[in-house]
Amino acid sequence: MKIAIISGSHRNNSQSEKVSRVIEKMLSDKEHCSDTWIYNLADNPLPLWEESIWDKEPVWETRLNPIREQLQSCDGLVIVSPEWHGQVPAGLKNFFLMVSRFDVGHKPAMIVTVSSTDGGSYPVAELRMSSYKNNRICYIPEQVIVRNVESVLNEDPADNNESTDAYFRQRISWTLDVLLAYAGALRPVRASGVALSDKFGNGM
């Protein structure tokens, strides 16, 4: 199983990227995960959505095709989002405008949100409400909210709160196991072809 990890912060050396790297390492140690791909939105690699994407303008095809190829080869995703002013960062919402049902449709996705304090709930709600309708990404019921992120999941144990760090490592690892189980279970749904309807190309 191949899992894509989308790091949704625009900042360089963000906490979201730190968490994404920990998740990538955990996945690569798991028997049921054969490959991973991290896409980092630091420095905004994707310009804002333009209508020429629908016209398949070459500059956009060149930009998006490598991303589409990676996503199409994945069986599931982890979406890592910081909470910024109670929202998902604009670059991550922009990413979802460019991702189609042919890339992520009917693939399970695990939401991981990140907060330097005790936030992190709002981006969970926002992703579940408004990022899946047309691309048909399937958020699994489990999610992880990494609160006080600076005190956990650091490489140097001296930087971590020992008990909360252990809790988050166990919780993330278990949730990844759930994600991988869904990834196996949803493969036949996509293979059946029933979910790819030309008549109902967009969700209601």
The encoded tokens of residue 142 equal: 């489990």
Out of 70, 94, 100, 116, point to the residue binding ligand FMN (CB under 6 A): 116
Scanning 24-32, 51-59, 79-87, 157-165 for contacts with ligand FMN by CB under 6 A, the matching segment is 79-87
Q: What are phi and psi of 80, to 5 degrees?
A: -105, 120
By CB under 6 A, the residues from 131 to 160 that bind ligand FMN are: 149
* Residue 104: both structure tokens together: 């992520």
Choose which of 31, 85, 141, 198 interacts with ligand FMN (CB under 6 A). 85
Nearest CA among 100, 23, 90 for reference residue 67:
100
Q: Which two tokens stand for residue 14?
A: 């963000």
Single out the segment in contact with ligand FMN by CB under 6 A; choices: 8-16, 22-30, 44-52, 175-183. Answer: 8-16
Asked if 14 is part of the footprint of ligand FMN (rule: CB under 6 A), the reply reads: yes
25 exposure class (CB count in 10 Å sphere: 0-12, 13-18, 19+) = exposed
Select from 107, 119, 126, 127 the one that contacts ligand FMN (CB under 6 A): 119
Q: With respect to ligand FMN, which residue has the nearer C-beta, 56 or 85? A: 85
Dig out the tokens for 8 from the structure: 């949704």
Contact 132, 138 (CB under 8 A): yes
> Given candidates 75, 83, 103, 126, which one binds ligand FMN under the rule CB under 6 A?
83
Instruction: Count Cα neighbours of 14 within 13 Å in the Cβ-side half-sphere.
Output: 24
The answer to whether 123 contacts ligand FMN (rule: CB under 6 A) is no
By C-beta, is 116 or 134 nearer to ligand FMN?
116
Residue 114 in contact with ligand FMN, rule: CB under 6 A: yes
Distance CA 150, CA 146 (A): 9
Residues that bind ligand FMN (CB under 6 A): 9, 11, 14-16, 82-86, 114-117, 119, 149
